[in-house]
Amino acid sequence: MLRSSRYVVALLLMTACDSEVLLESESDEPVVQPEARVDDCERVGDGVALARLSGSGDPGSLATDGESLFFLSEGQLFSLPLTEGAAEPLTDEGASGSDVKYSDGFVYWLDGDTVYRVATSGGEPEALIELAVGAAWAVAGDAILSTNGSTEPPSIVFRSSLTTGEISEIVTAEEGDVIRRLHVEGDRVLVASDHKLLRLSVFGGDEQLLAEGTLSSWEGPAVFDEQVYFGAHDKADFYLARVPQDGSGTFERVVSGYVVSTAFDDEAVYVYAIPSALTGSEPTTAELLRVPLDGGPSQRLSALPSEASVGFVIRSAGLVVDEDFA
């Protein structure tokens, strides 16, 4: 989930272009960011192409500080203003990977099993910590929260201080449950496992159970207007759900579909979802939905260049909406 200060229009750095915006390199020639935004290309829906996405890793991984988008392409980390202007590199070549995040003036990303960061003004990437294979992770002030991966039971979340190097255990999942996603909101962390959604201090302590059932989504839980939004499913029925973050109520269904990404404005949640995902023999195509927060009918804004078949989702993408791009 990506969020700037206010939102109206969905921005998606993931298109179906074969020429101007690339998902993968098709030759040995380097793919260079254009001097201006990409004016036109063959794309799905009415989206506007902003920058080239190419190379290895996860080109759909985006982060924002409310003013710029940060993304990896062709071995560099780029910054792209939300309103106007071209993408500018923050690093020299050699910055590859995925899972881009922003926190307190720094951009973080995962390359192999190592978390790196660089200031939003650019500079030399700093290697911070090595993670277990398949680990979920999040930035919590001067620390990295991470799991021990999905292959070593029990599933545990650790806090690794970036100043002292101290490592402490903050929560352990029950036997047979695996922690999949982490989301930090202030001094609290949301921990989403296969069967539970917990809220607790980033330093550990008492656990607050927000939801219990079968949770499932491409990204972790998101918080907006004191509600926690998360993907869930009942057998083959996938949907976006929400629950009060103080644990005062039961969760409710928001909209159907396998949730890839979400973003918010004051009136609606924008949902990148794949309807009927992971069921049937034929792939299903994703769509961008605008769902009013007051419970009104959802609006389909566009088809999106992602699809799912049984057990597999391809071409994921980040999502952010910003008022100034209307």
Task: List, for residues 60-69, the tens digit of each pLDDT value.
Answer: 578 888 889 8
Q: Is residue 245 part of a domain?
A: yes
Domain range for 254:
9-130+216-259
Total domains in the fold of the chain: 1
In a domain, 207, yes or no: no
Band the pLDDT of 193: cuts 50, 70, 90. very high
Q: 46, 77, 72, 50: which is closest to 59 by C-alpha? A: 72
320 in a structural domain:
no
150 domain residue, yes or no? no
219 vs 155: CA distance, rounded Å: 18
Give pLDDT, residue 286.
77
What average pLDDT does this structure show over 235-252?
87
232 in any annotated domain: yes
Indicate the pLDDT class of residue 259, thresholds 50, 70 and 90: confident
Average pLDDT of every residue of the chain: 77
Q: Is residue 312 part of a domain?
A: no
Residue 191 lies in a domain: no
For residue 81, cis peptide bond before it (omega within 30 degrees of 0): no
Report pLDDT for 115: 96
pLDDT over 50 (residue 148):
yes
The verdict on residue 168 lying in a domain is no
Average pLDDT over residues 236-242: 88
Q: What is the pLDDT of residue 189?
A: 97
- Say which residue, 99 or 316, is predicted with more confidence: 99
Give the rounded percent of residues in the chain with a pLDDT score beyond 70: 70
Residue that wins the pLDDT comparison between 21 and 293: 293
More confident residue, 195 or 36: 195
